[in-house]
Amino acid sequence: MMTIQELKDLMKLIDRSSIQHFELEAESAKIRIAKAASGTSQLQQAAAPNHGTLPLSPGALPEPDNGHAAAHASAEPSAPEADSRLRAIVSPLVGTFYSAAEPNARPYAQIGDRIQPGSVVCIVEAMKLFNQIEAEMGGEIVEVLAQNGELVEYGQALFMVRVE
């Protein structure tokens, strides 16, 4: 479980980045951070199905930092999802997303492909190093969220996988 300080640090990182929306789903909770129209982060917490909510209270969140990092917490009931088995494969670093090893090669992972834990799904280039990104779960790729050659941020969702 994340500590309050880790949550504050994550919100500050998102405020300073171009990320507009961030979601983290753990065994017992789901955290959603989205930038408001003013460009500041807004935190929402939701209970995961059949679990409790995060041990956060509105007073435990950071106070607005000169208008740069305003945060608000609100408990919301878990919304019914079309498929609760969907999980994101996120970028572990900032860099350029490549779907294949070479420009004319078949992408590592496409919609409908079945992947296993450890399967290479893409490459993220950072500082001239090509980092193969591996799936942490097995399942079916249902959505590719990044485009070839696009700059991706740390923690940005790259693929949505329906886990098996």
Amino acid at position 145, single letter: L
81 within some domain? no
* Residue 158's CATH number: 2.40.50.100
Residue range of the domain that includes 38 = 4-76
142 within some domain? yes
Query: How many domains does the chain divide into?
Result: 2
109 within some domain? yes
pLDDT tens-place values along the chain, 164 residues long: 567 777 777 777 777 777 777 777 766 667 777 776 555 444 444 433 333 333 333 444 444 444 443 343 333 444 444 568 899 999 999 999 999 999 899 999 999 999 999 999 999 999 989 999 999 999 999 999 999 999 999 999 999 999 97
The separation between CA 110 and the C-alpha centre of its own chain, rounded to angstroms, equals 19
- Is there a single domain that holds both residue 155 and residue 128? yes
What the block records as the tokens of 64 is 């607005």
Give how far Cα 41 sits from Cα of 17, 49, 93, 154, 159, Å: 11, 25, 20, 16, 23
Pick from 132, 114, 111, 134: which is nearest to 123 by CA?
132
95 within some domain? yes
